[in-house]
């Protein structure tokens, strides 16, 4: 579990970089970020999805069991992500309260930290979902256009 949590922390760090690359908060407000993330991520997930790997990793060739396992893993990863992001934003809020918001001077920084955290979480959550769609598509033999 600790290993999974560390992997998600690393992915969240990368998602923070992507948040800035897609244009930050203005891109999120306009919705432009979503298509950029889909284009950047989905084809990679589709090309890397491998039914034989899933069968070997989870010890079954039963499509339904594999699908349930893939969904379960994606759900657990999303829950861990939510916990990590929630803890980070809560820490930011506690610091703001403890320092009295630095008399209002630190408020823009606190808002920026929260926005980046929320944006990075959204990016990574979308990636988890895209990966699940790619994995399930390959598992069920559904042809998806990943371009």
Domain boundaries, the chain: 2-140
Q: pTM of the entire structure?
A: 0.79
56 vs 50, 51, 93, CA distance in Å? 10, 9, 44
Give the pLDDT of residue 106. 56
pLDDT in tens, 63-76: 999 999 999 999 99
**What distance, in Å, lies between the first and last C-alpha atoms of the chain?**
34
Show the low-confidence residues of the chain (pLDDT under 50): none
């Amino acid at each position: 579990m600790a290993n999974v949590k560390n992997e998600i922390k690393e992915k969240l760090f990368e998602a923070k970089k992507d948040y800035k690359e897609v244009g930050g908060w203005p891109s999120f407000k306009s919705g432009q970020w979503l298509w950029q993330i889909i284009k950047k991520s989905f084809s990679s997930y589709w090309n890397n999805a491998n039914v034989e790997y899933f069968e070997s990793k989870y010890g079954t060739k039963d499509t339904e069991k594999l699908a349930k396992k893939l969904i379960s893993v994606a759900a657990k990863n999303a829950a861990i992500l939510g916990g990590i992001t929630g803890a980070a934003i809560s820490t930011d809020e506690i610091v703001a309260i403890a320092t009295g918001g630095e008399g209002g001077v630190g408020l823009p920084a606190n808002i920026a930290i929260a926005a980046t955290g929320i944006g990075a979480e959204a990016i990574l959550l979308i990636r988890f979902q895209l990966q699940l769609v790619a994995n399930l598509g390959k598992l069920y033999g559904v042809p998806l256009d990943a371009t």
